[in-house]
Structure 1
Amino acid sequence: MLRPLAACALLLWPGTAAAYDIGQIVDDHILPGYTALVDEAHDLAATAEQDCAADSPALRAAWNDAFDAWVRISHLRFGPAEEGDRAYALAFWPDARGFTPRQLGGLISAEDPVIETQAGFDELSVAARGFYAMEFLLYDEAFMTAEPEAYRCALVQGAARDIEANARAILDGWETGFADLLRNAGDNDTYRSRDEAAQVLLGAVVSELQFTSDTRLGRPLGTFERPRPRRAEARRSGRALRNVRLSLEGTRELALLLAADSPYVTGILEDAYARALEQVAALSHDPVFAGVDEPQGRLEVEILQQNIDRIRTLLGAELGPELGVAAGFNAMDGD
């Protein structure tokens, strides 16, 4: 189940929208977020060129730093991130059918030269690209020791360069036109009103929260009779809980910028996010949700899930009307 377009989550509400500052959102949230991703992705590519060993502490640290930067802005999947499936090329997950290991295994067994150029990487399936593919190469024993070593090394380096190329393309798209379209909502055909811009921005937050609740937490939770801890996101690298925290921090920043005109809404959202992040901290002993197959461990993850769902409810009930946006159909429907 891949993520839908965020704009589908909400509908325009007749009325007067709050005077949120679009320019501040672009300049203080979107552009800095993607700039940080480019910087970290550049460091990742440079590190991989120097040391491609799967167990290299420096390479793993650079990969984690770049992944952190992506997760913080992974709710911003509209605009340039949509073009050319760039967001999916950076982050293809969940992979319920195991496409990523199969694609990587095929490349390695054939020693496919397609990985030698960026043009070649652009033609690869998104399952063989991005942070989750690199996780297999850096943390999965079968791929860490794959032979021939020279090809495995080249694949790691190519994957890192591809991440940087996609990050740069997204940032370039924002800097060379899309940022101005958003700033000037109401004066262009992409955003015909400020209300439409609010719909997309709030939809991005709602969609990301739903993805975290239903997928980041819902997949390992499974059912009470059949929990699925091995379905946790990025479990090989121990990042499942870390990604939940980073995603909450990123959506909180955007939500509070949207709510800045309403002290009341700001206050209740700050409180709701604080509760969710406190529960994240309480789960620090279980970074990959391995405890969901025990009653207490499952309860702790369910409490976090409930806290995240509460944020989403408040966004629809309190912030949406402030922005002239109403809750519409389920953002995941039809997926």
Structure 2
Amino acid sequence: MPSLSNLSLRTLKWGSTALLAASFCSTAWAQTPREAWHDALADGYATLATSTADLDQAVTSYCATPSAERRQALETAWAQAFDSWQAVRFVDFGPIEQDNLAWQFQFWPDAKNTVARKVNLWLGSEQSIGVEQLKADSVAVKGFPALEYLLFDPLASKAQPLPEERACELVTAISSLLQYNATQLQEQWQAFRPHYLGTEQFQNTTVLAAMHGLDILRNKRLAAPMGLEGKPRRNPYISDAWRSEHSLAGIRASLVGLQQYFLPGLRQLLSSEEGAELVERLDQQLTATVARLERQSADMQTLLADDDGYRNLQLIFIEVDKLNQLLSGNIASELGIIRGFNSSDGD
């Protein structure tokens, strides 16, 4: 994923360009926290727009000329686009609040299996399928989970398997709507810049968004399937992206997103010696947690199936818990921020 372009200025060679490099670096580091956050998140939204466009193209190619290679390319494109969404998923303010847009990208949690029921209704009906028809329907049939069901769930294949015509029509409409929403979100975030930079409260709002996102990751996306939150039993089917066995990869993408899109502004905000040390600790803990996730070759469902796998999940949970303690504890205290209820917390 792209990082802040101004950070690359630190790689400029000294010598005849030293004065110019110092000038550029001074300009970059003179950014306010909100300027750094807005620019970083603009990169994140641009990546989401690009990856959903790639996904839409992969759908078109596969449905036009189905093959095993194009099916694999389609599934890979879904995973890459899904990960780009996970990276910016913590942002719960601004344009993403309009028209339930976050839910249009990912309807989750889905305790009543609404995604499967809505998709099967479309597959079994004779109603024409297109972007405009989907816009008028439930958020459950508009985003990544609906595509995941069509691509990875055997029950979808029984109803109307890809690449049969109606299944392809539905996949095409969903991917086109995803691309449209991602493009709109990217444009709206740029238009949101003056208001974001000019409103002091967005400083705390951005930190709170990262806190809420990490809290949901810890409690809902990891602890709940492990039986540590809610019902005390292991249940991989309440994790997100379980059908594609992409639950832990999605968690990793969220942590990488915090590192790339949230840390730049936090470094600007906590510029004192003590604050800088806290940010460095958070950065190091994010790196360690991502590395542990990368070492896991199996996903949530497999790891929950036996005690050895569960112990690996416990080690991941411990790393994520350290992140929570750092951000919602030490760093929030340093900033004088108290975590409150957030609508994205769910039930």
**Letter aligned with residue 185 of structure 2:** I
In the TM superposition, residue 309 of structure 1 has moved relative to its aligned partner by: 2.1
1:209 Cα shift?
A: 0.9
Q: 1:49 Cα shift?
A: 1.9
Higher relative contact order (CA 8 A, sep 6+): 1
Query: What residue ranges of structure 2 are gaps of 5+ in the alignment?
Result: 1-30
Conserved? CA contact 1:232–1:289, under 8 Å: no
Note the 1:244-283 alignment, pairs <5 A: 244-260=251-267, 261=271, 262-282=275-295
Does 1:44 pair with 2:58? Answer: no
2:249 to 238, 242, 248: 242
Q: Does 1:88 align with 2:103?
A: yes
Give 1:180's match in structure 2, choosing from 162, 183, 194: 194
Report the 3-state secondary structure (helix = DSSP H, G, I; strand = E; otherwise coil) of the residue aligned with 2:188. helix
The Cα shift of 1:302 comes to: 2.1
User: Structure 2: which amino acid aligns with 1:288?
Assistant: M
Question: Aligned partners of 2:202 and 2:233: how far apart in 1?
Answer: 41
Q: Distance in 1 between matches of 2:157 and 2:346?
A: 37
Equivalent residue for 1:60, pick from 63, 66, 75:
75
Task: Tell me the equivalent position of 1:313.
Answer: 325
Tell me the residue number matched to 1:214.
219
What is the number of equivalent residue pairs in this alignment? 303
Tell me which amino acid in the other structure corresponds to 2:214.
Answer: L
2:241 corresponds to 1:230: no
Residue 90 of structure 1 deviates from its aligned partner by: 0.7
Task: Kindly report which structure 2 residues correspond to 1:7-156, keeping only aligned pairs within 5 A, or say none.
Answer: 20-27=32-39, 29-52=40-63, 53=66, 56-113=71-128, 115-116=129-130, 118-144=131-157, 146-147=159-160, 149-156=164-171
The answer to whether the Cα contact below 8 Å between 1:44 and 1:63 also exists between their aligned partners in 2 is yes
Say if 1:220 and 1:123 are closer, same or farther in 2 by CA, change over 3 A.
Answer: same
Choose between structure 1 and 2: higher helix proportion: 2
Paired with 2:67 and 2:119, the residues of 1 have a C-alpha distance of 15
Aligned-partner Cα distance in 2 for 1:144–1:330: 38
- On the 8 A contact 1:103/1:128 being kept in 2, the answer is yes
1:20·1:257 contact (CA, 8 Å) conserved in 2?
Answer: no
SS at match of 1:82: helix
Measured in 2, the distance between the counterparts of 1:220 and 1:32 equals 32
Aligned amino acid, residue 35 of structure 1: A
Contact 1:89/1:126, CA 8 A, preserved across alignment: yes
1:326: Cα distance to partner? 2.9
Q: Kindly report the root-mean-square deviation, in angstroms, between the aligned alpha carbons of the 2 structures.
A: 2.4
Q: Does residue 1:203 correspond to 2:208, yes or no?
A: yes
Q: Deviations over 1:125-165 (max 9, x none)?
A: 11111111000111112223543821111001001001011
Contact 2:45 2:88 in 1 (8 A): yes
CA distance in 2, matches of 1:334, 1:234: 17
Of structures 1 and 2, the larger Rg is shown by 2
1:184: how far off?
1.7
Shift of the alpha carbon at 1:292?
A: 1.9
Counterpart Cα distance in 2 of 1:137 and 1:204: 31
Give the whole-Å Cα distance in 1 for the aligned partners of 2:238 and 2:207: 28
Report the equivalent of 2:14.
none
State the TM-score, normalized to the length of structure 2. Answer: 0.80
Q: Deviations over 1:264-288 (max 9, x none)?
A: 1122112322332233134x13223
- 1:233 and 1:240 in contact (8 A); partners too: yes
Mapped partners of 1:135, 1:332: distance in 2: 22
CA distance in 2, matches of 1:330, 1:103: 27
TM-score between the two structures when normalised by the length of structure 1: 0.83
